Structure 1
Amino acid sequence: TVKWSDIGGLKEVKQRLQEAVEWPLKYPDVFKRINVEGPKGILLFGPPGCGKTLLAKAVATESEANFIAIRGPELISKWVGESEKGIRKIFSKARQVAPSIIFFDEIDSIAPRRGQESGAKVTERMVNQLLTEMDGVESLERVIVIAATNRPDILDEALLRPGRFDVIVEIPLPDKESRLDILKIHTKGMPLKGVDINELVQPTEGFTGADIKSLTREAGLNAIRKGLDKTEYVTKEDFKEALEKVKSSKK
C-alpha cells in the first residue's frame, strides 16, 4: 500500500486530494451536516512519471477506501457493447464495495472528444456510458472517480462539466524541494558513503519522480557492479556515473 509519506513533495496536490477525496469518504456525516457535496470526479493531469497513479493509490489508502484501478486501453473491446458493459460492471462493483475509488488511468484513450475521427464509435459509446454512470439515477454514494491523463486537451469536454470531473489538478514536474523529498524517499535504507543528497537536487532539474527513482536504482547497481557480494556502500562516484546514464525523460 502507498501512503502520503511515500510520495515526495506535491504538498498542495496532496492537500487538494485530501479535501476532495479523503474527507468526503472518511467524514460523510460532517458533509451531510454542513450540507456540502464532495466532488464526484477528480482529474489528474501532467507529464508521465510524475506520480498520478501513486497519488490515486495513496489517497485510497489514506481514505480507507477500496481501490479499483483500470487502464483505459484495457476497456476497449472490438465487440459491440462489450466496452460499455465493462464500464457498467466497474461502477456496479464500486457501489457494492463502497467507500471506494475508481481510478481510470489514460482516460483519454476511452474518452476523447466525440465526433472527431472515423471508427471512434466505440469510444463515443464509452463516453456516453461513463457520463450516464456519473450522472446516474443510481447515486454514487461514497464512490469517487479519479482519472489520469497526460493529454487533457483531447478529452471530451462533457466530462469536465460540473457534477462530473469537478476538480482538475495539475501534477507538475517536481521542484527543488520535491526533488529533495523524492531523493530522500528512494535513498532511505541505502547505505551511502560520502554522498550529500542536497548535491543531487540541482543535477536532477527537469527529472520526474520516476526518473529520480531510476537514478537511485542505477547508482545502487553501479555499486553492486563494482563489488558484487563485497558491496557495502553506494558512493558519490556511483551517483555521478548514474547521472551520466539516466537523463530526464522530459528532455
Structure 2
Amino acid sequence: MSHEASESDLAPFLRTFQRLGELAQRQLEADQARGRDPLVPALEAHLGTDPRGLAVLTELVSPLRVVDADVAVERVVAAHGGGTLLGIGGGDQRWHNGLSEILQVAGQWGQYPLGPVDYTTVPTGPDSERATVGFGLHLFHHDGVPVVLLQRGGRPQFGSPPQLEVLAAAEGVAPAVLGEVREAMNTHSVLRGQVFTFTASNYEPGAGGVTFVRRPAVTAEEVVLPDGLLARVERHVLGIGRLRAELAAAGQHLKRGVLLYGPPGTGKTHTVRHLVGAARDSTVILLSGQSLQLVTQAADTARALQPAIVVLEDCDLVAEERSHHSSSPLLFEVLDALDGLAADSDVVFLLTTNRADVLEPALAQRPGRVDLAVEIPLPDARARRALLDLYAAGLPFDDDVLEEVAAGAEGTTASFAKELVRRSVLRAVERGGDVDDDDLRTSLEEMMADGGALTRVLLGGAGAVPGHDPAGVAPAGWSPAPGAAAPGTAATARGSL
C-alpha cells in the first residue's frame, strides 16, 4: 500500500471523528440549556477561584457514624450562617472518583453536571430514622472564607467508604472545618446514650452499620444474688461513673472491666440486662457472636461517647488461653482494646463467660483489664423457689408443692425453672384443663429423668450425663482455693434469657 493511499483512507476517519466531537459538544450545550448546569463554573462562582487549582482535604467517616457526620455537617454549616446544598449527576461513576477527579473530568467533558442531591434513610434509634445526605455538595462560608464540602454516605459495593472532602479558598480553613465536624459528631451523636450493636459489612472486613436495641427494664428486685453481691457489681459498673469527677480529682482511674462467669443458663445475661437498664445515661455497645470481631471499633466508639459500657457476651469464644498450639487473633484485639483506653475514660468492659477456667490469664487476672470477677453459679433452694415464684406468678400452684419442686430440682438453672413452668402449662392445655400441682410434679419428673439428660445439658443443668459436668459443679473431693467460693453455693439471677 502506498503512502498516498494510506492518507486517503485516514482522511474519512478523521472527518468522522471531528464530526463526533462536534455532536458531543452540541449535546453538552443542549443538556446545559435544559437545566444541566455545569459543575465547575458554579463552584468557581462561589469560591472566587477555579476549584481545580485547590487542594482537597479528605476525612474518612466510620460506617457506624454516618448519621453523626450528617448531623454534624448540618450543624457546622448552620453555625456559619447556612449555605446551599447541591447535587452532582453522573451516575455510579461518581463513586469511583474523588472530588479532584470529578472536577477535572467535569471541566473537560461535562460528565458531572449539577443534579439532585442523593439521600439515604438511616436508623437513629429503635423507632426513628433520618434522611442523610448520600452524595451532596455544601457551599457555605467559614468565618467569611468560601468553602465547598462534598459529603458521601459511602457505597461499599463500589469500594467507596463514607467520607468528607473539603475545598477552601484560604489555607488552613479546610482542617478547621473538619475539626469542627469531628467535635460536633461527638457532641451531638445520635448514638450517645443508646443501646446498639454492630452489623458486619457484606463487602469488606469491619462494621457495616448499627442496629439499635431498646434499653431493657429489669429491676433489682428481679435479680436474686447472694446478699450484697448485686450491690457490689452495681457499685463497680455504675457507682464509679456517678463519682467520676471525685475519683478523677483524686487521681484514680475510671476505666474498668467486670467479668461475670458461671454455668450456662444461670442468669449472667439477665444480670447484664439489669445493669444496662440501670445505666440510663450510658452508651451501651453489645457484642456477641460474629460481632465480637468488632471489639476495636467498639472501644473507639465507647471512648468517643463515654460514659459507655461495652458488653462482650460469651467472651471465651475469642479469649481462650493462649498456647503454643492455638491462639485466637481476636484475643489480642480484646487485650489491646482494654489496654488502649486512657485511665480517665469512663468506659466499662462487661464480659460474660461460661468457661472462666479457659480464659486467658492476662485477661482474667491482670488488674486494669478485669478488676472484678463475679461468679453467677447454679441457684440454691431459696433461689430456685424464687424463680418458680417469678415464672409461675398467677398460676394456681400450692406453696408446699412449689417448695417440694424447688427442692427436687437441685442442680438445675434459671432456664430450667422457666421451661418447667412452661411444660406444666402445656400439659394442662393438651388435656383441656387448668394447670395444677400434678402437672408441675410430673413435668419435673420428666425433665429430671434419665431420658431428659440432654434437655438438662441444653438448659445448663448439672449431672445430666455420667462423667460430664457442663455446669461446673464441683466433683467429690474438690476444695476451693483460699478465698474462693465453691461452685453452686450462691443464688442466681432470676429470669435468664
Whether these two folds match at TM > 0.5 is: yes
Counterpart of 1:92 (choices 274, 285, 300) is: 300
**Any conservation in 2 of the 1:134–1:140 contact (CA below 8 Å)?**
no
The structure, 1 or 2, with the larger RCO (C-alpha pairs under 8 Å, 6+ apart) is: 1
**Any conservation in 2 of the 1:40–1:140 contact (CA below 8 Å)?**
no
Q: What is the CA distance between 1:239 and its match in structure 2?
A: 0.1
**Alignment-mate amino acid for residue 201 of structure 1:** A
Give the structure 2 partner of residue 149 of structure 1. Answer: 353
Counterpart of 1:43 (choices 226, 244, 259) is: 259
CA distance in 1, matches of 2:324, 2:228: 35
Question: Structure 2 vs 1, CA of residues 193 and 250 (structure 1 numbering), >3 Å: closer, same or farther?
Answer: closer
Question: Structure 2 vs 1, CA of residues 108 and 16 (structure 1 numbering), >3 Å: closer, same or farther?
Answer: same
TM-score, normalising length: structure 2? 0.44
**Alignment-mate amino acid for residue 383 of structure 2:** S
**Alignment-mate amino acid for residue 202 of structure 1:** A
Alignment of 1:1-251 (within 5 A): 1=216, 2-32=218-248, 36-37=252-253, 40-64=256-280, 65-71=282-288, 73-75=289-291, 83=293, 86-118=294-326, 120=327, 123=328, 125-136=329-340, 138-139=342-343, 141-159=345-363, 160-188=365-393, 190-194=394-398, 196=400, 197-227=402-432, 231=433, 233-247=434-448, 248=456, 249-251=461-463
Q: What is the CA distance between 1:221 and its match in structure 2?
A: 1.4
Deviation sequence 1:108-150 (CA, Å, 0-9, x none): 11111223424x3xx1x32222222212154562210111112
CA distance in 1, matches of 2:306, 2:312: 17
**Any conservation in 1 of the 2:315–2:352 contact (CA below 8 Å)?**
yes
Moved more, 204-213 or 11-20: 11-20
Q: What is the CA distance between 1:54 and its match in structure 2?
A: 0.9
Q: Give 3-state SS (helix, strand or coil) of 1:239's partner.
A: helix
Q: Give 3-state SS (helix, strand or coil) of 1:181's partner.
A: helix
TM-score, normalising length: structure 1? 0.82
CA distance in 2, matches of 1:94, 1:3: 25
**Any conservation in 1 of the 2:255–2:341 contact (CA below 8 Å)?**
no
Question: Structure 2 vs 1, CA of residues 116 and 234 (structure 1 numbering), >3 Å: closer, same or farther?
Answer: farther
Deviation sequence 1:150-182 (CA, Å, 0-9, x none): 211211111120101111111111112211221
Gaps of 5+ in 1: 77-82
CA distance in 1, matches of 2:262, 2:406: 21
Give the structure 2 partner of residue 79 of structure 1. Answer: none
Bigger radius of gyration: 2
Question: Structure 2 vs 1, CA of residues 238 and 117 (structure 1 numbering), >3 Å: closer, same or farther?
Answer: same
Q: Give 3-state SS (helix, strand or coil) of 1:42's partner.
A: strand
Q: Give 3-state SS (helix, strand or coil) of 2:408's partner.
A: coil
CA distance in 1, matches of 2:229, 2:361: 23
CA distance in 2, matches of 1:143, 1:192: 46
**Alignment-mate amino acid for residue 462 of structure 2:** K
Q: Give 3-state SS (helix, strand or coil) of 1:103's partner.
A: strand
CA RMSD in angstroms, aligned pairs only = 2.3
CA distance in 2, matches of 1:191, 1:137: 50
Question: Structure 2 vs 1, CA of residues 147 and 214 (structure 1 numbering), >3 Å: closer, same or farther?
Answer: same
**Any conservation in 1 of the 2:260–2:374 contact (CA below 8 Å)?**
yes
CA distance in 2, matches of 1:70, 1:140: 23
CA distance in 1, matches of 2:300, 2:279: 20
**Any conservation in 2 of the 1:187–1:216 contact (CA below 8 Å)?**
yes
Bigger helix share: 1
Deviation sequence 1:7-53 (CA, Å, 0-9, x none): 23444431221121121133423444665545610111111011111
Moved more, 204-213 or 88-97: 88-97
Q: Give 3-state SS (helix, strand or coil) of 2:303's partner.
A: helix
**Any conservation in 2 of the 1:113–1:156 contact (CA below 8 Å)?**
yes
**Alignment-mate amino acid for residue 183 of structure 1:** L
Bigger strand share: 2
**Alignment-mate amino acid for residue 146 of structure 1:** L
**Any conservation in 1 of the 2:254–2:347 contact (CA below 8 Å)?**
no
Q: What is the CA distance between 1:58 and its match in structure 2?
A: 0.7
The share of aligned pairs that are identical, in percent, is 27
CA distance in 2, matches of 1:28, 1:112: 32
CA distance in 2, matches of 1:142, 1:212: 37
